[in-house]
Amino acid sequence: MKFLPTSLLILALAIAIDFAFDLSPLQDFCVAINDPEVFVNGKFRKDPKQVTADDFLFEGFRYPGNTANLLRSKVTPAFVHQSQGLNTLGISIARIDFALGGLNPPHTHPRGTEILVVTEGTLLVGFVTSNQLNNTLFTKVLYKGDVFVFPIGLIHFQLNIGKTPALAFATLSSQNPDFITIANVVFRLKPPISADVLTKAFQVDKKVVDYLQAQFWYDNN
Ligand SMILES: *[C@@H]1O[C@H](CO)[C@@H](O)[C@H](O)[C@H]1NC(C)=O
């Protein structure tokens, strides 16, 4: 009798772990169609008879992203919205271009672990652990060919510290990992988060909060 609850618990845990991230596919592919009228968890499936090789092709990485912006960086995502063949496959990719000094600012992906490979240039990268692990910074300088992992949900960044533009590709463990850019979600909101909240949270004067809220917070993705 004692075994039953334990094995059930293990099964429940296994199911919980299996379903914590993107679902496994139930067929060879499930190419998405965009239906803006209806909202479901994921995307509708295109008739498999209508699916062609083009549904698995994404040409958006052929040319560099436009880094002429405040951050001097540009993320070009190939998530399920851009590349419908990814639907249900639990994976996606992004191209990240960096001009000199370009920064991909601190952000998280709520639904994906990221593995980054540097194909040009030199990047200072890092992620910060959660509160239980004392918010420790794990940081490295990456050179061409180096690979680094950013665990799901953790805040991370990449900065071009080299003397040339830099280029990296990031694969993510979700068809739709999404982005939460820290500065933007705190300071860019309209209407804003109450200054009472921000002055206390950041332990600064209202003047500083007003200043930060008045800035232009660019979204590089
Ligand atoms: C985090 O800090 C606490 C308090 O100083 C310490 O007891 C604990 O070992 C630290 N944990 C890690 C993972 O460093």
Q: What distance in angstroms lies between residue 198's CA and the mean position of ligand 1's atoms?
A: 27
Could you tell me the sign of the dihedral formed by the alpha carbons of 117, 122, 128, 129, in that order? positive
For residue 41 the two structure tokens come to: 């968890």
Confidence tier at 37 by pLDDT (50, 70, 90) = confident
Pick from 27-36, 44-53, 115-124, 169-178: least confident: 27-36
Calpha distance 204→198 (Å, rounded): 8
Read off the pTM. 0.87
Atom of ligand 1 nearest to the CA of 136: 14
Closest C-alpha residue for ligand 1 atom 11 = 133
| C-alpha closest to that of 124 among 151, 146, 153 | 146
Q: Where are the domains of the chain?
A: 54-178, 179-221
Which CATH superfamily is 54-178 part of?
A: Jelly Rolls (2.60.120.10)
Q: What distance in angstroms lies between residue 132's CA and the mean position of ligand 1's atoms?
A: 8
Statement: residue 179 has pLDDT above 80: yes
pLDDT at 105: 98
Average pLDDT over residues 86-90: 95
206-214 vs 195-202: helix crossing angle, rounded to 10: 110
Atom of ligand 1 nearest to the CA of 134: 1
pLDDT at 2: 47
Confidence tier at 4 by pLDDT (50, 70, 90) = low
Calpha distance 42→112 (Å, rounded): 15
Statement: residue 3 has pLDDT above 80: no
Average pLDDT over residues 174-181: 97
Q: In whole numbers, what is the pLDDT of the chain averaged over residues?
A: 91
Statement: residue 138 has pLDDT above 70: yes
Average pLDDT over residues 20-37: 84
% residues pLDDT > 90 (the chain): 82
